[in-house]
Structure 1
Amino acid sequence: MKRAWIGAILGYLLAATANAADVKDVRLWRAPDHTRVVFDLTGPAEHKLMVLSNPSRIVLDVENTRLRTSFSDLTLDDTPIRQIRSGVRAGDDLRVVLDISTAVDPRSFTLKANDQASDRLVLDLYDKGAKSARAPVKKTVSSDSKRDIVIAIDAGHGGEDPGALGPGKRREKDIVLAIAKDLNALFKADRGFAPTLIRTGDYYVSLKGRRDLARKRQADLFVSIHADAFTRKEANGASVYALSTRGATSTAARYLAQRENAADLVGGVSLSDKDDMLAGVLADLSMTSTLDASLQVGTEVLGHMDNIARLHKKNVEQAGFAVLKSPDIPSILVETGFISNPGEAKKLATRSYQKKMARAIHAGIKNYLVAHPPSGTLVAWNKAQGGTEYTIARGDTLSAIAQRFNISLASLKTANGIDGSKIMVGQKLTIPAT
């Protein structure tokens, strides 16, 4: 009887130990309007969140969990967190206390383990009254309110979602952010264009959140930049994608869309962030000019990328990418290459190639928008006045430019004072009105 009692106690203790979770790592990211703290767990765990005052503290009680890492390496600069400390509560529970220096709105949720990440406990501290959360308006560029063309530039992944991983510990999120910033700088230098970065640093934005930011900022065009991976490391080449409402145009397109759409599972999206877009909205998309414009601008970008990179496909492909589902904004997704391919990963990691890629994307987008500017913009006004400007890209010829803008070669030469046929990459041409 005594042995049975002792055995039962030991069995209970072993079961309790087996069900216990460990916090194996803690990570922190700062976004423009909130701070995210992610606790990586070895298994699922229940938790409670409390807000205490005098002094201000956020308390997390995590049941039957042990801390197997340290908070000492976390960078708390530019966050509302002064310090993070921990202790044991009720024998087996972990208590984490965050001392807060400014007012925040805390939210917490757990994420179940998936193919790409373990169980996680996520704590988001939203800044109260943050100016950065306000949506910017379209800026004007002249006294008679001719506005800029707004281009939303989206660097894929970020924060706890590294995206695809390549040889040498290269991460998609780092490469595409560098290209996005280069593209942003190029459009900033162009009169009549107002670029806006969806992600400005190393933090995650949900797929729906990226579309919402583009809409709040009244974007005329949305471009999402990626460097994905495939099941075979031999796969290579750059691609451009637009949305499909009827299925993917290839097996690779379907695979990449599924990978990108699963990013929220890694990035950590709470139930309230789920995409509730109705199928009817997507049906309406096919009846508007949005998808057609997406395919046209995608074709322009693909043509310029062909000058610096091998293309995976010669045509713009289509698939059900969630990040492209804005019914009112032409949207494209640019795969700058396969980071899973050793050769392409090496090139994508260099600043020189990142800048080349940004210039190719810039030239393609700008060419389309100069030829098809949104109404009410300075670019549209310039086109009407015969003052449209075009920047020569690698591979351009005067005859091809004249054909693209539906003008004669003679009128193009006359407008720019050109006698022969010699032109240079980066040279700016005036396109006369047709």
Structure 2
Amino acid sequence: MKASGLKRRVLLQGGSVALMLGVHQIARGATILAVRVWPAADYTRVTIESDARLHSQQLVVGSPPRLAVDIEGIDLNPELRELVGKIKPGDPYINGLRVGQNAPKVVRIVFDLKQAVVPQVFSLAPIAAYRHRLVLDLYPEKAIDPMEALITERLREAPRSSSGSSGNDSAVASAPSVPPPAAPSLAPAPDGGPPILVRPSPNVPAPRPLPGSTALPPARPPAGAPMPVPVPAPDPLGELMTQQSTRPGPVAPPPPMAPITPAAPVAPAAPLAPARGNATASRTDRIIIVALDPGHGGEDPGAIGPNGTREKDIVLQIAHRLRDRINASSVNGNPMRAFLTRDADFFVPLGVRVQKARRVQADLFVSIHADAFTTPAARGASVFALSQSGASSSAARWLANKENDADKVGGVNVGNHEAQVQRALLDMSTTAQINDSLKLGGAMLGEIRGIGARLHKPQVEQAGFAVLKAPDIPSVLVETAFISNPEEEANLRSVSYQESLADALMRGIQRYFAQNPPLARSRQL
């Protein structure tokens, strides 16, 4: 009996010690392990990583705009203090921040904002190399429209491109030297909608005749006919913005001008310019948009090579090189334009990548990646298209599953309604889109082989890649090489190899359009 009582006391004492340790652990709370900031034009992300799940409350304050976030159950530590120095001057949304111990076990972070934001605050469970993460995404009140961003970029370059021939289109001669017209500008719409393109009235002298040609006298319209309106420099995206400004609804009143009768022809028998002008005018009828999708980004580094090369950095560099080639090219006299789903180091969810490409009504979608495998022996480039009936190989299925997990690593607010809408979008696909994607992939694969690169598979493979499920855009995913292979990792880091690869992809795009001319289309804004 005495031994039994002693044993009972030992057990009770041990339980008390365990209970005290448990209370101590609860009182200690979570520990902050790291903080990261990912500024971008689309949104700025702030990530706070900890060894346990964090709970927070936030409050948006205006005049001046601020965001206060209280994180419960933690003490201020050096990692949190580092957050102050991680804010960059070029951040579009955060001007600065303050962090301090607001109350016992409550740390307050106050963000001084450059503009009003719509914050999304959510938690992510541990995955890959990350522990628990508290994510603060700061979005602008008015979401950035990819089409407007593309138009604005085009308008900035219009004064440069209008002074000579565009890209590789040798069929269009250089225009004669004339004083540059005043640059168009974007005026805010009164209804808060997208900006309206405002073109100043041109006042440009008549061009000098080309050497060896005979100058035609100025064409005179028939008596009573309205004076013709001067034609501005070719600007396909500018024309789209002009169309937008004429949609029904309140718009900025145009400057007073002489009335124009739409039905009256403008002197068809006496053209104002030689035939070359007709070719130039046709350039405004169509613009070929290629959506480039550098994989991963931000919190998601993608695959990492044996020497530490990150996939997200390499594919962004290749995308920039390919963008330059696309922007300098044309198809049958129609200028080409590249649109990047991300142009910096930030994360874009898979569904948003598809949404962006569809918003700009892209003609093609090219997702760029660098593969990795469990063994460094794997090597070679691959091109993939979507499959509705299962993967073409076990390797293709494995890779698709890995790439489709990008949202888990990069971090998506699954409670957001927009994310659910995008998931529904990803369920759509068409047989015609897949057939066109296979043609595009075959053209690219042949050109990659042409630069001497090794191919992992000699044909286009298929699998259920979420990022390829735009139902109306031919879409391919290019695995440029195995970054897990030391030799191919070195190639991917080489500028000359990146240039050769961008050349091959460009030739593949041109070859596809040579065999499958782009159809006429009228883009809607």
User: Could you tell me the TM-score, scaled by structure 1's length?
Assistant: 0.80
1:85 to 98, 114, 125: 98
- 1:36 equivalenced with 2:45 (yes/no): yes
- Quote how far apart the aligned CAs of 1:128 are: 3.0
| Kept in 2: contact 1:33–1:133 (CA 8 A) | no
Structure-2 separation of matches of 1:253 and 1:350: 27
| Kept in 1: contact 2:95–2:111 (CA 8 A) | yes
- 1:24 equivalenced with 2:53 (yes/no): no
Could you tell me which runs of 5 or more consecutive residues in structure 1 were left unpaired when the two chains were aligned: 378-434
- The 5-angstrom pairing of residues 5-24 of structure 1 reads 10-17=20-27, 20-24=29-33
Indicate the RMSD between aligned Cα atoms, in angstroms. 2.5
Provide the residue aligned with 1:314 in structure 2: 458
- 1:50 equivalenced with 2:59 (yes/no): yes
Provide the residue aligned with 1:281 in structure 2: 428
| Kept in 1: contact 2:30–2:53 (CA 8 A) | yes
| Kept in 2: contact 1:104–1:127 (CA 8 A) | yes
| Kept in 2: contact 1:236–1:338 (CA 8 A) | yes
Provide the residue aligned with 2:364 in structure 1: 221
Provide the residue aligned with 1:154 in structure 2: 293
- 1:342 equivalenced with 2:486 (yes/no): yes
Provide the residue aligned with 1:189 in structure 2: 328
- 1:168 equivalenced with 2:307 (yes/no): yes
Structure-1 separation of matches of 2:18 and 2:388: 59
2:141 to 118, 122, 128: 128
| Kept in 2: contact 1:241–1:317 (CA 8 A) | yes
**Secondary structure of the structure 1 residue equivalent to 2:424:** coil
- 1:207 equivalenced with 2:350 (yes/no): yes
Structure-1 separation of matches of 2:448 and 2:328: 21
Provide the residue aligned with 1:71 in structure 2: 83
Letter in 2 for 1:82: N
Provide the residue aligned with 2:411 in structure 1: 268
Structure-1 separation of matches of 2:425 and 2:323: 32
- Quote how far apart the aligned CAs of 1:370 are: 2.1
Structure-1 separation of matches of 2:468 and 2:144: 27
Residue by residue, what CA displacement relative to the aligned partner does 1:115-143 show, whole Å, maximum 9, x if unpaired?
34221111111123466655446636943
User: Could you tell me the TM-score, scaled by structure 2's length?
Assistant: 0.67
Structure-1 separation of matches of 2:427 and 2:22: 54
Fraction of identical pairs, as percent: 42
Count how many residue pairs are aligned between Structure 1 and Structure 2: 372
Runs in 1 of length 4+ with deviation above 6 angstroms?
Answer: 3-6
Structure-1 separation of matches of 2:16 and 2:462: 65
| Kept in 1: contact 2:128–2:409 (CA 8 A) | no
Structure-2 separation of matches of 1:264 and 1:126: 18
Q: Which has the larger radius of gyration?
A: 2
Residue by residue, what CA displacement relative to the aligned partner does 1:349-370 show, whole Å, maximum 9, x if unpaired?
1111111111111111111112
Distance 1:194 1:134, change over 3 A: closer
Provide the residue aligned with 1:390 in structure 2: none
Distance 1:133 1:183, change over 3 A: closer
Residue by residue, what CA displacement relative to the aligned partner does 1:157-213 show, whole Å, maximum 9, x if unpaired?
111111110122100000000000100100111123111111111111110000000
- The 5-angstrom pairing of residues 246-265 of structure 1 reads 246-265=389-408
Structure-2 separation of matches of 1:32 and 1:232: 38
- The 5-angstrom pairing of residues 101-112 of structure 1 reads 101-112=114-125
Could you tell me which runs of 5 or more consecutive residues in structure 2 were left unpaired when the two chains were aligned: 1-8, 152-235, 240-278
Provide the residue aligned with 1:408 in structure 2: none
